[in-house]
Every structure is written in C-alpha cells, then in structure tokens.
Chain A
Amino acid sequence: MSASKNRATNSLLRSEKKSLYRFLALYVAMVIFGITLLSAFYYESQKKLALSNYRVMMAQYAYIQTKRLKVLHHFFPDRREYPRDPRFTSAIYDIEFHKIFSLNRVESIRFDEEIYLTNGYVHFIKGLDTYYLGTRYLVIEVQDDAKWEVAIWKDIALYGTIAFVLFLLFGLYLAKLFLKPMRDSIMLLDRFIKDTTHELNTPLSAILANIEMMDTDVMVEKNRKKLERINIAAKTVSTLYKDLTFLTLEQEKKNEDEHLDVKEIVLDRVEYFDILARSKQVTFSLALDDATLYMDRRKFTRIIDNLISNAIKYNKRKGAIKITLEPNRLIIEDSGIGIDEEKIPLMFDRYLRFNSSEGGFGIGLSIVKKIVDEYGISIDVTSQKEVGTKMEIRWEND
C-alpha cells in the first residue's frame, strides 16, 4: 500500500481564497461589463459604417427612381405602371405619410431616420422637393446581406477574448497585491512561532528526560501524582512543540517514505497519550486490524498525534474515544463537544480554533490537512454538537 503524492497542497487559507474569489468575481464581472459596453459601441459604430456604405448606393437608386417618378407624373394617368428595378424596391408616401404605392416587403417605415435596418432589409428615405404624383417621401428598400454583421461578430469574439484574457492576467496580479498584507501578517506569525520553537527544544527535552529517569516506585503517592501531572503537561507541550517544529522546519525536509505498520504506530501513540486521557478520565476502545501505509513515519505520526490529542482535548470528562483500523482506513471517534456542521469546512484552517477554553495555536488540523493532501489521503469529518466528532482517513491500496 502506498499513497500517491499530491504536491498541490492548498497553500492559501480558506479565508484568503474566499477574499480572492470575491475580488475575482467582482473584477471579472466588471471586465465583462466593460468589454460588453465596448463591444456595443464598436457594433454600433461598425453598423453606422455599413449603413453609410449602403447610403452611397441607395442615394443613387433614389436619384434614378425620382427621375422615373418625374416621367410617370408627366404621363399619368395614361401610364399607370409604377417604375420597377431589379436592384431595389421602393414605395412612395405623401406629406402626411399616407402610402401612395409600395413594392416594399417591409411596410413599417421610420420617417424620422434617413437610413436604417429593419427585419433584414435596409430602408433609405429620400424627401422630394417636388412632389411628383404627390410623393413627399421616396423609400428605397434593399435586402441586407449581413456580411458586415458577421465580420463585426468575428472581431468582437476575437478581440473580446484577447482583452478578457489580458484583463484576467492583470486581475490575478492585482489579486496577489490585494492579498499581500494578509499573507504578510500570516508570515509574521509563522516567523514568530519559528523563533519561539527553537528556544523550546532544550528545556523541554530536559524535562521529559528527567521525568523518564525518575524512579516512581520509591515515591510517595502524593509526589507520584504530582509527577504524573508534570508528565502530562510536558507531553502536551511536547506535542505542540512537534507540531510547531513540523510546521516551521521539518516540512521542508525530504520525505523518508517506508511501509508503515499502522497498527503498531496507533498502539504506540495511544499508549503515549494514555496518561493525558486518564487525566480527563477518557477511555480508549480499540478495534484494530492489520494495515500498512507507504509514507513518511514522522508525518503519519503527526496525523495520529493530532487526531488523538484533539479527541482527548475536546472530549467530555469520563468520555470515550473509539479507534477503528481497517486495511485502508482509520476512524477516530470521540464523545466530545462536537462542532457545528457549517464550521467543518473551516476547521482545517491554520490559527482557527472553535473553543477558546482549550489551549493551542489552532495549527494541528492544518498540519493534518497539509500532510493528507500531500499524500492524496482523503479525510472526512462528521460531527454533531454535544454528541461527538468522527474523523475518518482513507488511503488507497496499490
């Protein structure tokens, strides 16, 4: 068994991501609005250009038709056939916009415009100074081939996409600038912890070594209890120290992956935390099958330690912890305070703690998340307020 490595760890905090997404959504909406507006202006200007091309042609047609109307006027009513032309159709209207005669396919006319597009046809309206046959308005109609429109849409699609991509890149750069102050403050905290951690090593090692060396058999009961409490406190600090060391120093170390006997490690860590659990009268119940996992021992230990110490820390007095190990999954359930369902997605964020009554920096689960992401291990959390929390990690077999 081994877990495939997934280096795409989520380096951004969820809150950072939320801010980033909000900013990007707003930015993208603004960019789309801007591009749409520009496209609309471009479309209108190109449409005007296309119409001005039509205007040149249609003004000539109108001139020709006017001459024909003049002739018809002269010979009316002996000649009554309205002049026709294969290149265009036309209609004539009197000064009160009443139709005198029409060959046009589109009958609705906008007399307040000189040239316009309507239902795939172009209308050109010429006002006559001499009203042949009473004609005040001559309306020339030609079919629009819409080639200009296809060209405009092509331009808009091409340049719009280029502009969108460029603006998006610029937006990402802006977002980075936008997040910098937040990132700087987190880095400052990281650096502070790194410096502090370094100073903890020597005294903590001395305390733990000396506790181990003490002969408890010759101690009086009262002193043994005091020593036990010192031991619990030292182990709590030790777990925190290891987390901080991992976070600041060890995670950059090269992994030393090996086939781990998961059952053995779980038993070892349960024994280690037993004294801490007993102090809260929390009992373990274990159902462990044999299981192996190919990964770095230190990192797997950090996962187990954090899950077990959280199960103890956020448990009730006289509570229980149930640990189930199967060939490809490990479940740690506690009978603790639980958390709200909507807060579950946030619990892996660094420096986030849901219960300020308990100590800690809120880094334990962010370490767990970082490691499981790195190894492609899935982690599922189910929790119910005042009932307990169930953490399940699952890895794939080869």
Chain B
Amino acid sequence: MGKRLRGVLVTIVFLNGVSLWGESENIFERNCVPCHQELPTSLGEMFKSYLLVYSSEKFVKAGIKHYLRHPFKSLSVMSDLFIDTYGIKKPTHLTPKELDEAIDIYWEKFKVFDKLK
C-alpha cells in the first residue's frame, strides 16, 4: 500500500514537471528554434531577408507560411549558396493553426515596428 502511494506521487510529480516544461517553451521555440540553431544564419537575419522581399506583416507572414508548406528553392528568400550548402527543409508537419501561431510569434519577436528611435 505504502509502495503504491509512493509510486502515484512520483508519477504526479513527473507529469507536473513535463507539463511545466511544456509551458515554458512555445510552439515556435519547440518546432523552429532547435533546427535553426544548427544553421549559421540566425532566425533574425532570415526575418530581415523576408522583410526585404515581402515588406509588410501580412505579406511576410503569408510568404513564410507558403514556404514552410511548400519548400522549394525558387521560393526561398535565402541565397543559392545557402540553399546549395544546407539544402531545403522538409514540408512542415504542423497544422495550419499551429503554423499561424508559430509565425505570429516569429513576427512579434523580430518585427521592426516600435523598435526604431
């Protein structure tokens, strides 16, 4: 009886720990950051490349979303040298809702609005 109770308590603490770990990292950090950490070009630099091509929030978000779902060399904002070296990513496995959420977080993190002085 005492063993069983101890086992239940351990399970609860472990699950709580898992759920806490899950809350500290959002969908962007979980799904995007890990892979990009291995690349020499940061997510911030890539964001600026998107800005250079798409300009506004709506178009940048649409551009990213489209590329993540249909990653082709011709659609990438990165240079040919970068693509040839590191290749094209695989199509995203995130649902459209999750994708939108991740992109929204990405935009808020790197947007230029209200940052200039």
Q: Residues on A close to B: CB < 8 A?
A: 73, 76-77, 80-82, 94-96, 98, 100-101, 130-136
Contact = CB atoms under 8 A, between A and B. Distances in A.
B45 to A, nearest CB: 10
Nearest to A95: B55
Interface stretch (B17-25, B46-54, B82-90): B46-54
Contacts of B112: 76, 100-101, 133-134
Contact of A131 (B54, B57, B117): B54
B48 A73 contact: yes
Contacts of B117: 80-82
A95 B51 CA distance: 10
Contacts of A96: 55-59
A315 B56 CA distance: 97
Contacts of B116: 80-82, 100-101, 133
Contacts of B110: 77
A131 B48 CA distance: 9
B55 A94 contact: yes
B82 to A, nearest CB: 17
B44 interface: yes
B115 A77 contact: yes
Contacts of A133: 48, 51, 112, 116
Contacts, number: 57
12 contacts: A76-B112, A76-B115, A77-B115, A95-B54, A95-B56, A95-B59, A96-B56, A96-B59, A98-B113, A130-B52, A131-B51, A131-B52
B56 A76 contact: no
A335 B94 CA distance: 115
A83 to B, nearest CB: 10
A134 B115 contact: no
A133 to B, nearest CB: 5
Interface string B11-55: 000000000000000000000000000000000100010011111
B60 interface: yes
A134 B56 contact: yes
Interface of B: 44, 48, 51-60, 110, 112-113, 115-117
In the A-B complex, the 7 residue pairs with the smallest Cβ-Cβ separation, listed nearest first, are: A95-B55, A94-B56, A131-B55, A134-B51, A96-B56, A101-B116, A95-B56
Contacts of A77: 44, 110, 115
Contacts of B51: 73, 131-134
B61 to A, nearest CB: 12
A73 B55 CA distance: 12
Given A76-B112, A80-B117, A81-B117, A136 B44 contact: no
Given A76-B48, A81-B117, A133-B112, 13 more contacts: A77-B44, A80-B115, A80-B116, A94-B55, A96-B58, A98-B57, A100-B112, A101-B116, A131-B52, A133-B51, A134-B51, A134-B112, A135-B55
A100 B113 CA distance: 5
Contacts of B58: 96
A274 B96 CA distance: 122
A133 B56 CA distance: 10
Given A100-B112, A101-B116, A134 B55 contact: yes
B52 to A, nearest CB: 5
A131 B53 CA distance: 6
Most chain-B Cβ atoms within 10 A of its Cβ — which of A76, A77, A100, A134? Answer: A134
A82 B117 CA distance: 6
B26 to A, nearest CB: 20
A132 B51 CA distance: 7
A35 B55 CA distance: 49
Most chain-A Cβ atoms within 10 A of its Cβ — which of B54, B56, B110, B115? Answer: B56
A77 B117 CA distance: 11
Nearest to A103: B116
A100 B57 CA distance: 11
Nearest to A131: B55
Contacts of A130: 52
A134 B44 contact: no
A73 B58 CA distance: 20
Contacts of A134: 51, 54-56, 60, 112
Contacts of A76: 48, 112, 115
A208 B115 CA distance: 117
